[in-house]
């Protein structure tokens, strides 16, 4: 329950990009991967809202469809953007945890 | 199961055509996979409808071709002008029906309660009339806000009339296949107005009070005319005005969706949509001021002989304000999208491609 609630507040863009760093995936595989990673339950509407935006911004590319399912792959620009955002999030997380006394 | 299936199908049909062509098949595959693992179809469908609305509003991922952007501009123009057409008749009916009273005598309504050239006057017994009757500040505000609504209506009507003329010109110039039927649809509003004016003139001719004669004892006997025909014409006016209003709105929606027009007509449509949304927003502000001022007036104690305006349909103020607020939001959204689409067409000179 707690992990689900935390998951919902996370940025959908980061989740999708992180999922695609493990290799090209189609829509359903991305949903299942994110569910396993964070416990966040994605609907197809939310997922495709993100996929369309990422594709338009050039952060992912669509690969040829296989049996109705079209896999997506993260691009070099997408990897760079994800790295930058994760580093920024890690910095904030480290400072927050230090102030909370959770880490030394 | 069948209900859910229908709901998901309906949700998928809510997406724009370009979106379905690009993502429809793979989206169906994802939905089928999620259904097979037992995910609720209703929840899936709700998410799809939400995303479909977002896709329609934001057009993310839409290919930047002239055809698609021109279609988006046209439908956005319709989305900003149709709320005005739908809501303003009700607004005028609520704010236009009024009774102005004074303890001094009978009141002939004019400025500042109605948009006319004459001032409100009080006729006192003995043929005396008061040209500048006392009026409280709140009553003045009520009157002015009513006039603002009426003035905005007339102004927007002129703007839409000019826009309709530009649309007709654009349809004729473009020479597309369906231009004849589309051209005919654009004539509906003007035909309705002309029909109403004609019937009103006919009705006034047919009414027997045109042939009244005054008898020596002060009584007036009305003779001649055809009161039954006049009454029939009155009913016909209502039928034509409601029918013309509905067909005009439906016609505008169809034309916006189906007809091709040149780029300059699109640009003009964009301007019309922006002006209409501004007019609707100002009407909304005027309605709010009107409603608040009436409440304030009703709490005041009035000076003897002062003008007091009462509106029999004032009770409908709040639902009207809510409906007008929604119409405003839809109109502003439409105008914003029309501006964005036209800007993309114009900045990339897509009509040359």
Instruction: Please report, in tens digits, the pLDDT of each residue of chain B (353 residues total).
Output: 445 457 888 999 999 888 999 998 999 999 999 989 888 888 899 989 999 998 888 888 888 888 889 989 999 999 999 999 999 999 999 998 898 888 888 888 888 888 888 888 888 877 677 777 888 888 899 999 999 999 999 999 999 999 999 888 888 887 777 788 888 888 899 999 999 999 999 888 887 664 455 555 656 566 667 878 888 999 999 999 999 999 999 998 888 888 888 899 999 999 999 999 999 999 999 999 999 999 988 887 777 778 888 899 999 999 999 999 999 999 999 999 999 999 999 998 887 76
Using an 8 Å CB-CB cutoff, list chain B residues near A53.
Answer: 60-61
Report CA B77 to chain centroid distance, whole Å. 13
Tally the domains of chain B.
2
Where is the domain boundary, B63, B79, B112?
B63
Chain-chain contact of B48 with A44 (C-beta, under 8 angstroms): yes
Measured between CA atoms, the residue of chain B closest to residue A28 is: B30
A68 contacts B28 by C-beta, under 8 angstroms: yes
At A2, is the pLDDT very low, low, confident or very high (cuts 50, 70, 90)?
very low
**Nearest to A15, CA basis, from A35, A34, A42:** A34
H/E element, B283: helix B263-299
pLDDT for the residue B217: 61
What was the pLDDT predicted at B209?
Answer: 61
B220 within domain boundaries? yes
Q: Does a structural domain hold residue B170? A: no
DSSP A25-63: B-HHHHHHHHHHHH-----HHHHHHHHHHHHHTTSEEEP
Looking at the structure of chain A, the number of domains it has is 1
What is the reported pLDDT for A4? 43
Predicted pLDDT of residue B222: 62
Sign, Cα dihedral of B65, B67, B73, B75: negative
- Whether the CB-CB separation of B14 and B49 falls below 8 Å is answered with yes
**Strand segments (E) across chain B:** 99-101, 106-108, 121-123, 129-130, 212-214, 220-222, 308-310
CATH of the domain at A65: 1.10.10.10
- Shortest CA gap A90–chain B (Å): 30
Cβ-proximal residues to A23 (8 Å cutoff; 6+ apart), any chain:
A73
Domain hosting residue A7, numbered range: 2-100
Residue of chain B whose alpha carbon sits nearest to that of A69 = B26
Nearest CB neighbour to A52, from listed B34, B44, B60: B60
In a domain, B227, yes or no: yes
Query: Is A28:B33 a contact under the CB 8 Å cutoff?
Result: yes
- Hey, is A72 helix, strand or coil? strand
Residue B347 counted as domain residue: no
Query: Is the Cβ–Cβ distance between B287 and B280 less than 8 Å?
Result: no
Check residue B15 and report its DSSP letter: S
With beta carbons under 8 A apart, name residues in chain B contacting A44. 27, 30-31, 34, 44, 47-48
Residue of A nearest to B20 (CA): A48
Q: Which residues pair with A73 in a beta bridge?
A: A61
Q: Which residue among B259, B282, B311 closes a domain?
A: B259
Residues near B210 by beta carbon (within 8 Å), at least 6 away in sequence: B204, B224, B225
The reply to whether B119 falls in a domain is no
Domain boundary among B211, B229, B259: B259
Which of B33, B43, B51 lies nearest to residue A48, judging by beta carbons?
B51
Is the overall model pTM greater than 0.90, yes or no? no
Query: Does B21 fall in a domain?
Result: yes
Name the strand (E) or helix (H) holding B45: helix B41-58
For chain B, the farthest-separated pair of C-alpha atoms sits apart, in whole angstroms, at 94
Residues of B with Cβ-Cβ distance to A65 under 8 angstroms? 25-26
> Is B38 part of any domain?
yes
DSSP letters for A88-101:
HHHHHHHHHHHHHT
Q: Please state, in angstroms and rounded to a whole number, the distance separating the CA atoms of residues B266 and B251.
A: 17
Structural domain containing residue B41: 1-63
B199 is a domain residue = yes
Contacts of B43 in chain A (CB under 8 A): 43
Beta pairing partners, B99: B310
């Amino acid at each position: 329950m707690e992990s689900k609630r935390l998951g919902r507040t996370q940025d959908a863009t980061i989740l999708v990009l992180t999922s695609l760093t493990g290799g090209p995936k189609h829509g359903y595989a991305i949903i299942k991967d994110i569910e396993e990673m964070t416990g966040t339950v994605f609907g197809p509407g939310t997922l495709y809202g993100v996929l369309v935006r990422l594709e338009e911004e050039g952060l992912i590319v669509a690969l040829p469809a296989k049996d109705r399912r079209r896999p997506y792959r993260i691009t070099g620009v997408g990897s760079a953007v994800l790295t930058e955002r994760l580093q920024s999030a890690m910095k904030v997380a480290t400072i927050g945890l230090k102030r909370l006394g959770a880490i030394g | 199961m069948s209900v859910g299936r229908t709901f998901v199908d309906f949700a998928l049909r809510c997406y724009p055509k370009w979106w379905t062509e690009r993502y429809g098949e793979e989206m169906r595959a994802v939905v089928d996979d999620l259904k097979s693992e037992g995910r609720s179809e209703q929840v899936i469908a709700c998410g799809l409808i939400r995303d479909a609305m977002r896709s329609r509003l934001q057009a993310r991922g839409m290919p930047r071709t002239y055809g698609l952007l021109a279609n988006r501009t046209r439908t956005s123009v319709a989305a900003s002008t149709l709320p005005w057409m739908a809501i303003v008749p009700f607004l005028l009916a609520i704010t236009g029906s009024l009774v102005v009273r004074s303890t001094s005598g009978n009141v002939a309504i004019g400025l500042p309660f109605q948009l006319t050239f004459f001032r409100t006057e009080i006729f006192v017994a003995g043929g005396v009339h008061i040209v500048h009757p006392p009026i409280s500040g709140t009553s003045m505000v009520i009157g002015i806000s009513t006039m603002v609504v009426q003035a905005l209506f007339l102004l927007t009507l002129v703007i839409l009339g000019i826009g309709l003329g530009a649309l007709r010109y654009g349809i004729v110039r473009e020479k597309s296949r369906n231009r004849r039927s589309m051209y005919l649809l654009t004539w509906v509003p003007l035909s309705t107005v002309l029909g109403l004016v004609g019937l009103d003139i006919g009705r006034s001719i047919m009414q027997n009070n045109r042939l009244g004669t005054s008898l020596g004892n002060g009584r007036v006997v009305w003779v001649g005319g055809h009161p039954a025909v006049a009454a029939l014409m009155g009913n016909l006016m209502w039928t034509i005005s409601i029918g013309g209003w509905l067909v005009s709105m439906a016609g505008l929606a169809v034309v916006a969706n189906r007809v091709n027009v040149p780029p300059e007509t699109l640009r003009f449509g964009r301007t019309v949509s922006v002006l209409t949304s501004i007019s609707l927003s100002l009407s909304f502000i005027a309605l709010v001021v009107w409603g608040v001022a009436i409440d304030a007036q009703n709490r005041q104690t009035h000076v003897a002989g002062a003008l007091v305006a009462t509106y029999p349909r004032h009770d409908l103020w709040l639902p009207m304000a809510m409906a007008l607020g929604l119409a405003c939001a839809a109109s502003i959204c439409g105008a914003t999208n029309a501006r964005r689409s036209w800007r993309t067409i114009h900045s990339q000179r897509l009509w040359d491609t």
